Amino acid sequence: MTAPGRHDTSSARRLPVRVYLLLVVVYLAIVQGLGHVLTRGLDLSYATPPNVDATWRMFTVPVTATLLFTVAVITVLRWWRPVWRDDRPVRSWVIVVPIVMVASILLVTNYGGLASKGGTYTLLLLFSTMLIGFSEELMFRGVGVTTFRSHGYREGIVALWSTVIFGVAHLANLYSEGPRAVVQVIATIIAGYFLYLIRRRTGGILGPALVHGAWDFSLISNYVVEGQIRILPIVSIGAMIVLAVVVLVGHKRVEPAGPARTAGPTGADPT
């Protein structure tokens, strides 16, 4: 029998942290390499595909490749249960995090701009950003969180390192974005922690993957019409600030009362 709150990990493989970092590098090489090859010679701005052709080149194909890579990693490790499910709940008030993020998504989405682009473009963009949500959440909030938990780190450290790695991974955008990528890294680290909390509050990877994909969709939608000036993305910044204040005030009341439950495969050597 498996103890309550623990996954049966007898058949799961162990993953050293250094190997996880190598997997992240491979993941980034796939998405950046394919994106570069497929968009070479096209005059495209970062994350602003103007049409269907640019969308599948910039997002759909590269992210599908990283998703398949991540699925293969999880399958080889036999980690589907600890990656997909989360048996470490947080207190009920943390539900404010996905609520505020979803409200921001609904407000920020550029419905008029998307309508002018047509249904095919809108559906492909939504599909592609959902691929991003699932691919990145499986790699960082899935494999990453499970890796650090498997080595016995306390949950605060699990949250810290899985989130920092997620943010630093976006430095790969230095090639296309220049110094602005540093700002993106900081924003991504903050958003990553919120997605980590959503994983624990909703009991698995599905919640943060859907919110992540919809968040990207709403932001990108504001830049699909060339020359259109949009101020609504400021709402997403405000939402992040509000959530940051709420989480800072309540961070000592995130963990549930009583002993924490554990999940994921067991391991020993953190390196």
Q: For 141-159, write each residue's pLDDT tens digit.
A: 999 999 999 999 999 999 9
- Whether residue 175 is predicted with pLDDT greater than 80 in this model: the reply is no
pLDDT digits (tens, 9 = 90+) for 178-188: 777 788 899 99
For the entire predicted model, the pTM comes to: 0.89
- Whether residue 46 is predicted with pLDDT greater than 90 in this model: the reply is no
pLDDT digits (tens, 9 = 90+) for 204-262: 999 999 999 999 999 999 999 887 777 888 999 999 999 999 999 998 899 987 654 44
Say if residues 55 and 125 touch (Cβ distance below 8 Å).
yes
Say if residues 243 and 97 touch (Cβ distance below 8 Å).
yes
Structure tokens at 80: 């589907």
Q: Which residues have a Cβ under 8 Å from the Cβ of 248 and sit 6 or more positions away?
A: none
CA distance 241 to 20: 31
* Rg of the chain taking only CA atoms, in angstroms: 19
Report the residue count for the chain. 271
CA distance 254 to 252: 6
Structure tokens at 132: 């991003």
Distances (CA, A) of 114 to 49, 215, 219, 220, 232: 12, 15, 12, 10, 14
